[in-house]
Structure 1
Amino acid sequence: MKPLDSDECRHKLLFGDGVVYDFKTGEHRPVQSDDRMRLAMACPFKLWVPPPGAPDITQKLCNWLPRAHGALQDDELGREILADLQQLSKECALLKLLFETFDCWHTTVHFLRNVAVMASAAANFNFLNWVTGAGGAAKDTLLSIVLTAFGEEGDQLGFCEMGRKLTTAVDQRNSVNPVLDAVRGKRFMWFSEAPEAGLVTDLPKMLCEQTGASLRAGKRQQLQQFHPMGLMWFTSNFAPGFRDGGIPTPADL
């Protein structure tokens, strides 16, 4: 029998009311036993219905994001998206909040893209998210909204832990294995208040590589192999402090 919440579940998302959304087909249906999905979102499934007369921004974003090497204002399509977002934010409190937090639509779009990538468990992405800023910059408030949707109970898709749990001092006390065990199958892995220095590098690198070598977690006599199914997010008052030349490549700041 296929393991629960493993590679077979990629591109599918289970919601709290038992509905499965397929990112490849755009279809949704009740969960079935052969889906092998146990971990679910904290929220029920609900399709977003744009307000009457609102612009159809979805296809525009799908066309723009793959070639987004500059800012939205740099080309005609991007400027259309900017205008559409401005209009939609008048009716959408979340969009308005994100714009007020980031103070630009470009970062808002990429933040939402990364959340969507995380929700889909698409394995062709290899990066971690580092949200930095001074105290009071709403970093944790921002990710708390995401955690509300993903949940943090044992049967939900979110996980939250203090960033100091990934420091070398804690790692020497063999505390990394419980973290590995806790994030199996999770889509949203949030480490809050990451310290300025001393972060271990091997665990974040392994959890970024969803198609890399299998990880092992559990009790010594019953170690289970698994592939990461989500993305790591760090919030910190500091810039990334990893002492590893391979970390900057997958880090999305």
Structure 2
Amino acid sequence: MSLHLPRLGVAPDAPFPPVDSALRRPDGLLAFGGDLSVTRLRNAYRHGVFPWFSDGQPLLWWSPDPRTVFETADLRPNRRFARTLRGSRWILRADTAFADVVTACAQAPRPGQDGTWITEAMRDAYIALHAAGFAHSVEVFDDTDLVGGIYGVSIGRMFFGESMFSARSGASKAALSGLARQMRHWDMPLIDAQVGNPHLASLGAASWPRERFIESVDTLAQATAPVAGPWTSAFGEIPATALDARD
């Protein structure tokens, strides 16, 4: 691997290689090495790069082309799902159970996957990012039960989605819809979904050329964040019944 991929520098703020130097096969593999420090992760995301590796592998960094994204202006529940939610007791909150959401995502079965890429090291790294105010979760509760959620990294006015889970049918879709609703209110237009799959496509994800994605990230990540620190108070409590296709 070291013959084909650059190794990242030891310093947490060491630069990443240009994303257009990433491999085509496997698509987007850019570099290896480094660490999962807050500084390194923030530097990665603001340049359109993310870590993705399994236990036993070196730390791998990716920037695929094309890139899968959600545009928050268009990410609303369809009418059928909105009707389903009208009878729901679910409540959406933010940053009240971040570690629980990450753990649930790690334990969620994924079709075609054996095990999880959310290793203990990855979990600890994102919890550290959350403590530093740069990673957030949207949680779906049924009374006191956590039934779904999504988490990711927020820099400026850009949100980089990492993973989501459902313990009840539709709960992750509700979390994604709630995230997009709040992001629209905060003038945050884009959610990175990294690598596409049929499920994301069914939710409305689009495929962008990497160059277009990087240009958007360059602008959005440098903008002033709408909220400093935890989102809990600014997000409030959103009843799932308020997730409307017209909002």
Q: From the CA coordinates, give the structure whose radius of gyration is larger.
A: 1
Task: Point out the structure with the larger helix share.
Answer: 1
Could you state the TM-score of these two structures normalised by the residue count of structure 1? 0.31
Task: Point out the structure with the larger strand share.
Answer: 2
Could you state the TM-score of these two structures normalised by the residue count of structure 2? 0.32
Whose RCO is larger (CA < 8 A, sep 6+)? 2
